Structure 1
Amino acid sequence: MKVLYQTRYNIFTRKGGDTVQIMKTKEFIENRFSDIQIDINSDPKADLTSYDLIHIFNMLRPQETILFMNNAKAQNKRIALSTIFWRSTEFERQGQMGLRRMINRMIGYDGMEKLRGLYRYYIDGEKHEGTLMLIKQGYTKLQREILDQADLLLPNGEGEMELIRHIFKPSKPLNYLVVPNAIDTGIFGYDTRTERDIVLCAGRFEPRKNQLNLIKAFNGLPYKLVLAGTAHETQRKYFKAMKKAIQKDNIEIVDELGHGELRKLYGRAKVHVLPSWYDTPGLVSLEAAVSGCNIVATTRGTTREYFGDDAFYCEPGDIESIRRAVTEAYQQPHNSRLQARISAEYTWEQTADRTVEGYARLLGRQEPEVSAG
């Protein structure tokens, strides 16, 4: 079986959770199934002759995804779509900053995305057919067209599918298979030798991840907070606001870390907190949980689907809620039950097997066996 992965053009220059998902899925499928070859290509006009199916990632940039879809359909290829979908009107109206928040309150989600499309087309270099389609058809309509063309959806959770059904109201049942987010147990694990004395928040610095409210919450807490990440150039204003909000010396910001250094920080953290406006559920939260941290997560998205009653939840827009959840998590002993469950149920091996199950279903083939060794 030969599969082509297609996704946003800046997948490696502006890395995110989808970057990890794509690379780890490819790595573990190829390691476990010797007869499956996977290529990655962001060319919307690629020759697909040699591929059995096309696996496209990410509905959040429909101006690119629709071009991959149209190209695959024109060449009669079956399409799997990892939806990587979220939408939060609440976030756009409350969590965004400055002018963007004000415009969202006036013209709504689709209006804001059209404006962003115009900016991308005329100023930011995305002068192509897909951006024009977004401007003319609208964000939601273009995403609905993507859903209609996909042969199989691969969401990260049932909650993601519920949101898709709620927003797009499909006229027929959607063909889907849940493929969970996961951790690499070869990299992350519980180290009993370390002294845990900090609260950690790892991830890109941006309004959706909500580090600004977390900092405001920590200005009234006795614990040490370490924020590990980086801000894209488009989020410099947000990063500046984060630094300005720090009032005490119990808050430290460090650069984005490699796996080795991040593993050490997980080992020092009694709590990992990600108070996002929406998450599915956040790869760093899974990594932190398997590393022995108690988890504070947002109430929005698929977090409860993954963590159940084994995490502490906060309302992203409520600073007191964040403060309370962190305090409760810090005061509780290590949750070994959550650590064991993540290690057992959310690994890249399982993600690979589940994805290949989807491929076999799409192609009407028997599911290939895992390679020996």
Structure 2
Amino acid sequence: MQVSKRVVFVTPPTIYDRNGGGMQTQVYRTKEELEQLGYEIEFYTAHKHYDAKQYLCAHAFCAGASTYFPTLSLAKQGLPIVLSTVFIRGSASRLSDIAYRYGHDLIERLPWKLLDDTICARKQAAMAKAALPNTRFEQLHCESVLRLASSKCRVIPNGIDTDWLDLPKDKDAEPSTIAGGIQQPFVLCVGRINDRRKHFPLVAEVCIELGMRCVLVGNWDATIRTSESQRLQHLIDTRSDLIHYVGPLPYRSRELSEMYNRCHVFALPSDFETPGLAALEAGYCRANVIITNVGGTEDYFGSNAIYVSPGNKQQLRAAMEQAVNAPKNEELRERVGSSYKWKNVAELTAAAYSDFIVS
């Protein structure tokens, strides 16, 4: 009997934003490459009944409250669940991790059946036939916090597209107005500026202390009024000679490609990354990457990046001084270009479908 290759994707609503970030890229590029392999991918809608006999599985991206109820609905309709966890909560501290886990154990025992992001993710982990974390670190975290069975797990790395990152070889080609207006060398930060990514003001402060130019790229949620957001705005307003916020740049745009290629240092010392698609893109463009040591980033970058603990200003300062004085990173370009492309990701995902669902 021929096995169906129809798959329902369940995603957080944020992937439909104009600049949905790394999750948006992961979902759409996985979809496109799976379709090249003969799969039929459709996005979940609450107004449709799904006949389980017509589908291979449902694939949910990002465990938690944003995808829990669609996942539950599809499971009740008989579709096997594949879960790309994209889940790290709590802290890098082992003690904090234990406290976080047992705190949610207590919540589950309460008689009121309370649901929060982690409880929802636990329920998804229990119903999933396969779980596809992006790093070994994430897998172990999910095994601990979500009680995810290791027998269900297979690490599937993230990927990038490289075609748009290679600039024209014409030496006379003029850079875009944005990139051309920033004097080199500079430190680049790319990502959503929100309450989870608290490293932006820290990077800006260290750059000011070292007299280095810093360029910030990404969506900035205007509704956020945290102390970190106010701190960053103050640095931009008072030290515009060194700190430049250029706003969001479209994915695959020439302007963003030029930023990656012209920066000497790329900094992503956030609370955790798995691994941060922007860091992979910058690494392919030979930038010297400074990145958090939390989330499994070493799986991707190996010895070709400088690792720092989240929030550690002293480590970040030393890393900045090391990175700005180092030559461009040719080894990282080779590592990323050979191992982390979306075609590879789709092939590994298809193999997981076959091994966990079909077999």
TM over 0.5: yes
Instruction: Say whether the 8 Å CA contact 1:89–1:109 is kept in structure 2.
Output: no
Confirm or deny: 8 A CA contact 1:299 1:315 kept in the other structure: yes
**Cα distance in 2, alignment partners of residues 296 and 231 from structure 1:** 22
Q: Deviation string for 1:27-74 (max 9, x for gaps)? A: 12223x1x2111123x34632224321111101xx2232212221221
Residue 36 of structure 1 is matched in structure 2 by 39
TM-aligned CA distance change 1:167 to 1:134, over 3 Å: farther
* Equivalent position of 2:211 in the other structure: 222
Show the counterpart of 2:243: 251
Cα separation, 1, equivalents of 2:225 and 2:147: 37
The answer to whether structure 1 residue 183 and structure 2 residue 160 are counterparts is yes
Q: Which residue identity does 1:253 align to in structure 2?
A: Y
Distance of 1:15 and 1:109 partners within structure 2: 29
- Report the CA distance between 1:355 and its aligned residue: 0.9
Cα 1:267–1:138 shift into 2, 3 Å: closer
> Cα 1:20–1:348, aligned 2, differ >3 Å: closer, same or farther?
same
Matches within 5 A, 1:89-168: 89=91, 136-168=114-146
Deviations 1:173-215 (A, max 9, x none): 4312211111102222477869952111111112332101111
Q: Where do 1:26-65 residues align within 5 Å? A: 26-31=31-36, 33=37, 35-41=38-44, 43-44=45-46, 46-49=48-51, 50-59=54-63, 62-65=64-67
Shift of 1:110: 9.4
Q: Which has the higher mean CA deviation after the structures are superposed, 219-228 or 242-251?
A: 242-251
Write the letter of the residue equivalent to 2:158: N
Superposed CA offset, 1:96-115 (max 9, x none): xxxxxxxxxxx979989xxx
Q: Secondary structure at the match of 2:188?
A: strand
User: Equivalences for 1:1-373 in 2 at 5 Å?
Assistant: 1-13=5-17, 15-31=20-36, 33=37, 35-41=38-44, 43-44=45-46, 46-49=48-51, 50-59=54-63, 62-89=64-91, 136-170=114-148, 172-189=149-166, 197-209=185-197, 210-237=199-226, 238-246=228-236, 247-248=238-239, 249-258=241-250, 259=252, 260-364=254-358
- How many Å apart are 1:332 and its aligned residue? 0.6
Q: Is this contact kept in 2: 1:81–1:154, CA < 8 A?
A: yes
Aligned residues with identical type, % of pairs:
28
- Alpha carbons 2:266, 2:279 under 8 Å: kept: yes
**Residue 185 to residue 166, structure 1, CA distance change in 2 (3 Å):** same
How far apart, in 2, do the equivalents of 1:166 and 1:84 lie? 15
Q: Alignment partner of 1:180: what SS?
A: coil
Contact 1:69 1:150 in 2 (8 A): no
Amino acid aligned to 2:119: K
* Contact 1:110–1:140, Cα closer than 8 Å, also in 2: no
Aligned partner letter, 2:195? P
In structure 1, runs of 5+ residues without a counterpart are 95-106, 113-132, 366-373
Say what the alpha-carbon RMSD is for the aligned residues: 2.9
Provide Cα deviations, 1:226-249, integer angstroms capped at 9, x if missing partner.
011121244254433312134432
3-state SS in 2 of match to 1:243 = helix
Distance 2:326 2:231 in 1: 31
Q: Give, in whole Å, the separation in 2 of the partners of 1:168 and 1:52.
A: 25
Deviation at 1:138, TM superposition (A): 4.3
Aligned positions, number: 327
Say if 1:183 and 1:283, in contact at 8 Å, map to a contact too.
yes
Deviation at 1:150, TM superposition (A): 0.5
After superposition, the Cα gap between the structure-2 partners of 1:218 and 1:350, relative to the gap in structure 1 and judged at 3 Å, is same
For the 8 Å contact 2:167–2:257, the answer to whether it is kept is no
User: Can you give the 5+ residue segments of structure 2 that lack an aligned partner in the other structure?
Assistant: 105-110, 176-182
Cα distance in 2 for partners of 1:109, 1:236 equals 29
Matched letter for residue 307 of structure 1: F
* In 2, Cα distance between equivalents of 1:45 and 1:336: 50
- Per the normalisation by structure 2, the TM-score is 0.83
Q: 1:221 to 1:167 in 2, by over 3 A?
A: same
